[in-house]
Structure 1
Amino acid sequence: MPKHKGLRGPWSDALYAPTLHHFLGPFDVYDREETLGVELETHDMNDPAQRAALIRRDITGQYKELSYRHRHALLEVLARALQEPGYDFQAILEHDPENTHALPALWDEMDDPRAFFADIYRLAREDWRDDLARAAAEDPADW
């Protein structure tokens, strides 16, 4: 994934290299299966309205703490993936028992993972519109 010349991580001094997995952080139920996991399992991720509500609550709402530049860079990665017709969004949702990150049960069986990520993109562009325009007006090489 692309690194911006000077854009550093929001919580570290390392170069910021966002991936699509960053969008899933708010849904990580590892060691929270009994709380967040139980709550998220009540939502039907195949229902566009329920999916949109979670995206707004847990991604576009929570990620407002990121700078406008970080949000722009993160959304750039998603835009590129969505432009690839054969991009395997399902692979991002697959459960890996060796990993210390976990999504809610059955999320890896979502009917249309591409639609989930397309909804993230659409809603983030709406909710972050002003900040994305601000970042787009700048030269990322100066970050």
Structure 2
Amino acid sequence: MQKMKQKGLRGPWSDALYLPTLHHFLGPFDVYDREETLGVELDAWDMNDPAQRAALIRRDISSQYKELSYRHRHALVAVLAQALQDPHYDFQAILEHDPESTHALPARWDEMADPRAFFADIYRLVQQDWHEDLARAAAEDPSDW
């Protein structure tokens, strides 16, 4: 008997169901075991300066995530849009350092003055940079993915 494939968007590098979270946006900033290289570089950026924050988002998210399909980017942005619509969503919690984790953000990112503004900037910039692909995915029926 042949096993039927489960419907739903599959991961970009596996056959597992793709379930994006806001943590996916932070992947390019993971300095775990790279504190002396990427960590030092990212420490030079002021995440409270909107211009520097936008430049970093464009450099490390908008351009880097082009490797994801338009459907994966659409699903990822939808998770962010949902969080931004919730006025009580705790964006600060996403930036908190967990000493038990094998992931780490740059020093002092958990002290960012307005974490919601950081994620709102991500949303605004990827909406601009991925406009065509997001529109293409929005025109499709996700149940066919």
Any idea what SS the aligned residue of 1:115 has?
helix
Matched residue, 1:23? 25
Provide TM-score, normalisation by structure 1.
Answer: 0.97
Once the two structures are TM-superposed, the CA of residue 132 in structure 1 deviates from its matched residue by 0.3
Once the two structures are TM-superposed, the CA of residue 6 in structure 1 deviates from its matched residue by 2.0
Matched residue, 1:125? 127
Output aligned runs, 1:1-143, within 5 Å.
Answer: 5-143=7-145
Structure 2 regions of 5+ residues with no counterpart? Answer: 1-5
Offset from partner CA, 1:64-119 (integer Å, 9 cap, x none): 00000000000000000000000000000000000000000000000000000000
Any idea what SS the aligned residue of 1:15 has?
coil
Provide TM-score, normalisation by structure 2.
Answer: 0.95
% identical aligned pairs: 85
Q: C-alpha separation between the residues in 2 aligned to 1:50 and 1:134?
A: 30
Q: C-alpha separation between the residues in 1 aligned to 2:144 and 2:129?
A: 25
Contact 1:5/1:140 (8 A) holds in 2: no
The AA in structure 1 aligned to 2:46 is D
Count of residue correspondences = 140
Structure 1 regions of 5+ residues with no counterpart? Answer: none
Q: C-alpha separation between the residues in 1 aligned to 2:7 and 2:80?
A: 19
Larger radius of gyration: 2
The AA in structure 1 aligned to 2:111 is E
Misfit runs of 4+, over 4 Å:
none
Once the two structures are TM-superposed, the CA of residue 5 in structure 1 deviates from its matched residue by 3.8
